[in-house]
A and B are shown apart, each in its own frame.
Chain A
């Protein structure tokens, strides 16, 4: 797959994402791997199901790449996100960022995952032993005060 920003139904291969950002100017490649967690607030997850608005999600991932390019000099970014049914410890998202110096690669990687949780149309459904639910807002992050993204979250 040649795309730098993609949604896939297949298992993610970390190396495939990393290879997309290899560059002679890079002195660091930071890789973030998001995996399926079994316990959230002491509730046991059996598996997750992800849905996405694929063309828009890929566009928004690419937008995050552009945002990173405008903030961190010479950064290269690739992001893959898996959808469908994922079991515990399966990889849901891989972010690779290469930059000339290491500090930027950490910061840009963190920026990418936070932005994914704000603007990329992907949804997660938790399946527990005693029920299931589409997750609309994640407790580990600040909710939008107005209940939806503000203009600052949406601009290109």
Chain B
């Protein structure tokens, strides 16, 4: 199982701070496709994925059980 952390508007939209994805290994692209299907309310169009607290640019990067995964909307700090 892969846990995916949610923040800000994404968290509010689904009413929880993380999603559990019943997979042991998945690429970033597959993960996004999966979440689009299971959480159709979420707008993922501008969302970045972070794995182990780093932005991921490669949609083919493999995520494994135990990795810390987060969906990050465009940031607006400062």
Chain A residues in contact with chain B, CB under 8 A? 34, 50-53, 55-57, 59, 81, 92-93, 113, 116-125, 134-138, 144, 147-149, 151, 154
Contact = CB atoms under 8 A, between A and B. Distances in A.
In the A-B complex, the 9 residue pairs with the smallest Cβ-Cβ separation, listed nearest first, are A122-B77, A123-B8, A134-B9, A56-B53, A135-B76, A136-B74, A124-B76, A116-B78, A51-B8
A53 B76 CA distance: 12
B76 A121 contact: no
A135 B46 CA distance: 12
B50 A123 contact: no
B75 A118 contact: yes
Given A123-B73, A147-B45, A154-B57, A92 B78 contact: yes
Contact of B77 (A59, A81, A154): A81
Interface string B11-36: 11000000000000000000000000
B63 interface: no
A150 B12 CA distance: 27
Given A53-B7, A121-B7, A148-B48, 15 more contacts: A51-B7, A53-B50, A55-B53, A56-B70, A81-B78, A117-B76, A117-B77, A118-B75, A121-B70, A122-B76, A136-B73, A137-B46, A138-B76, A144-B74, A148-B74
